[in-house]
Structure 1
Amino acid sequence: MSKQVISTTQAPGAIGPYSQAVQIGNLLFASGQLGLIPETGQLAEGVEAQTAQALNNVKAILSEAGLGLEHVVKTTVFLADMNDFAKVNEIYGGFFSQPYPARSAVQVARLPKDGLVEIEVIAAK
């Protein structure tokens, strides 16, 4: 099985030696998405806006592969501050519907560009 790189200008470009997403077989592995606005490269203002933007970036990557949020089976949410969990959870809940994907949420010491939240997903066709 060969892997296929998924890339779109509708989400921020990779800022290092990695791909926005890689698809192999029926699985798509998307790199973590910050709340970066693709047109400006700037972070959205505040944790709620960054969460929504990160998930919109995820949606754009999935769309490029012909998938949607309903195909997501696992997410990992990285938070700069676990005190923001309830705010992030509220925004996150507006993007996904039942059956919800499996999820992990962890606080990390620091995120790239001093982001407040980063979200990565695994999707299946």
Structure 2
Amino acid sequence: MTDAPVAIRSGRIGPPAGPYSPAVRVGDLLFVSGQGPFGPDGRLRGESFGEQAHATFDNLEALAIAAGTDLSRAVRIGGYLADQADFAEWNAVCKERLREPYPARTTVPVELPGFAIEIDAVFWIPGVAR
């Protein structure tokens, strides 16, 4: 039996900026769209790269919790950095926020409009029958 996709939202993050779901659960997997360092009011949270990275992880975590999982069950993350010079700090934040076994990860430099980082992710949701 295959589960139909279910959109996941959280009141702890702002609404999507376009025609997409913040996250979609299919079976025991959660696919989270790129999240940035924005609060529920749409305002930028944090000035430094580290502050923005933590705020972005907070948004990922809010969606994960809404779907019945948490950051410890991330199986893949993608980091999109406005400045590749922030790579070492990105590694430090990942080490602080994630646990071993660390998820598979991709990091790429991109142009971001006025913020330092965006993160997307895939999570495993334990206890969901397949």
What TM-score range do you get, normalising by the shorter chain?
A: over 0.9
Q: Deviations over 1:91-120 (max 9, x none)?
A: 121111111000000001x12x42111011
1:37–1:44 contact (8 Å) kept in structure 2: no
Over the matched positions of the two proteins, sequence identity in percent amounts to: 33
Does residue 18 (structure 1) correspond to residue 17 (structure 2)? The answer is no
CA–CA separation in structure 2 for the residues paired with 1:8 and 1:123: 16
CA RMSD, 1 decimal: 1.2
Q: What is the aligned length?
A: 123
CA–CA separation in structure 2 for the residues paired with 1:102 and 1:79: 17
Q: Which runs of 5+ in 1 are unaligned?
A: none
1:70–1:97 contact (8 Å) kept in structure 2: yes
2:71 to 69, 72, 78: 69
> Which residue does 1:59 correspond to in 2?
61
Answer with 1 or 2: which has the greater Rg.
2
> Which residue does 1:121 correspond to in 2?
121
Q: Which runs of 5+ in 2 are unaligned?
A: 126-130
> Which residue does 1:101 correspond to in 2?
103
Q: When the two structures are superposed, what TM-score results if normalisation uses the length of structure 1?
A: 0.92
> Which residue does 1:82 correspond to in 2?
84
